[in-house]
Structure 1
Amino acid sequence: MKPIYKRIVLKLSGEALAGEKGLGIDTNTIMRIAKEVKTIQKMGVEIAIVVGGGNFWRGVSAKEMDRTTSDHMGMLGTVMNALALQDALEKLDVITRVQSAIDMKQIAEPYIRRRAIRHLEKKRIVIFAAGTGNPYFSTDTTAALRAAEIEAQVILVGKKGVDGIYDSDPKLNRLAKKFETLNYIDILNLGLKIMDSTATSLCMDNKIPLVVFGIDEPNNIIDVINGKKIGTHVKED
């Protein structure tokens, strides 16, 4: 089957990489995701990945700590996740580059837009780490920013424990309604917390569609790339 996207940004939360453990890294989960990423790469898709760090540290949750310091700690968590994912991909003989928004030359390339695009054109997978390099910005915003910069056709948002966007938390409300499609403005008006408002606005301004789906279900990434109607699709009016 021919993929419907040529270049994508895959957004993975830190929690998604923790598997059932909830914290840290689950190697089986990372390897499963890496195998799916390799499959879509072999289909000809150019793949950039943005990873969160919530399985190690959530900067916004540290109420008694300086927010800037806390956010920098969260950025380091994303670097650990990026290196773990790179290791899993390279075990599958997939050429991968980690680019960090914070300079750490010994373990990652600096983020350079033109270099990232060149890697993608050479069919290397690029993992963006350390967020935007700035405090007060989430990795959701990083995904939107990097997608705009590399001219990705879509952002695939893999969520743990939920298979799309609902009008309320399905874990707390069994009558929660799942949306099949949404507009950007709906997310902002309804206060849906699938991405923060900065990321949603950036996607809206740059007309970048989103597909929000469950990462726990095997082969969901492949199904989305093949155009299967899963999750929630977000686009402009």
Structure 2
Amino acid sequence: MSEPKYKRVMLKLSGESLAGANGFGIDFTVATRIAKEIKELVDMGVEVGAVIGAGNIWRGREGSGMDRVTADNMGMLATCINALALQNSLEDLGIETRVQSAIEMREIAEPFIRRRAVRHLEKGRVVIFAAGSGNPYFTTDTAAALRAAEIDAECILLAKKVDGVYNCDPNLHADAVKYDHLTYRDVMEQDLKVMDITAITLCKDNDIPIIVFGLDGEGNIRKAIEGKSNGTIIDSQEL
């Protein structure tokens, strides 16, 4: 294995990544594969925080007619289910893991306390940050950027279904062009929908690089941490 480029990272996973081919719910075969890849990082001495979305369980108020606050609260609770599932898969592999929730639920998760989270990371534990930011109207992208800034993560590993950022949807357009590098300003000005605008702004203001890569394929998380990913790097550098 190569030396990791980063000592402390924030891994952002979509809820759909846990669903596998089913497209909904949790496929524990997939959860185990992701856990094994996270274990590779831990074995390399990398400190790993993680945020998981909830799209495999709850898609917000789409088609429901619910008010936004209620729908977002349900989504935050759904991220806790995914966090516990990933925690279980990691601990099955012998990786000490803590779930910290932005919404208090002491029977199943610690409350988010920044100093405690950092201490867990320093001890080699994976910390999964659940329940988003604890507030409606904010996505798990924003929660990942916020927590990354709070724990002084050196980058965000943004796992996607596609292997980087394209100028248009590669699933719909055969001539879609993938970017190897973008600045935060490029993402905002071209409205590339990598993360929501609040998350991109947080990363820009705190100079947190974003590595966008495809989760499918073994070893892709490790390749991202080693600087060998064929995905897209987003940072402040004008090339």
* TM-score band w.r.t. shorter chain: over 0.9
Match for 2:40: what amino acid? T
Give the whole-Å Cα distance in 2 for the aligned partners of 1:201 and 1:153.
16
State the shift of 1:10 in Å. 0.2
CA contact (8 A) 2:168 2:177 kept: yes
Describe the SS at the equivalent of 2:19.
Answer: helix
Letter of the 1:54 counterpart = G
What residue ranges of structure 1 are gaps of 5+ in the alignment? Answer: none
Q: Identity, % of aligned pairs?
A: 58
Structure 2 equivalent of residue 172 of structure 1? 172
Q: Report whether the alignment pairs 1:69 with 2:65.
A: no
Q: CA deviation at 1:2?
A: 1.0
Distance 2:63 2:135 in 1: 17
Aligned to 1:97: 98
Deviation at 1:135, TM superposition (A): 0.2
Of the structure 1 ranges 18-27 and 53-62, higher mean CA displacement relative to structure 2 is found in 53-62
What is the total number of aligned residue pairs between the two structures? 236
- Which shifted more, 218-227 or 125-134? 218-227
2:212 pairs with 1:212: yes
How far the C-alpha of 1:229 sits from its partner, in A, is 3.6
In the alignment, residue 5 of structure 2 is paired with which amino acid? Answer: I
| Residues 129-181 of structure 1, C-alpha deviations (whole Å, 9 max, x = no match) | 00000000000000100000000000000012x11000001111111110000
Tell me, in whole angstroms, the C-alpha distance in 2 between the residues paired with 1:11 and 1:186: 21
Query: Superposition pairs for residues 118-157 of structure 1, below 5 Å?
Result: 118-157=119-158
Runs (4+) of structure 1 exceeding 3 A deviation are none
Q: Distance in 2 between matches of 1:62 and 1:207?
A: 37
- Partner Cα separation in structure 2 for residue 177 and residue 156 of structure 1: 21
Q: How does 1:1-237 map to 2 (within 5 A)?
A: 1-62=2-63, 64-160=65-161, 162-237=162-237
- Taking structure 2 as the reference length, the TM-score comes to 0.97
1: distance between equivalents of 2:61 and 2:123? 37
Superposition CA RMSD, Å: 0.9
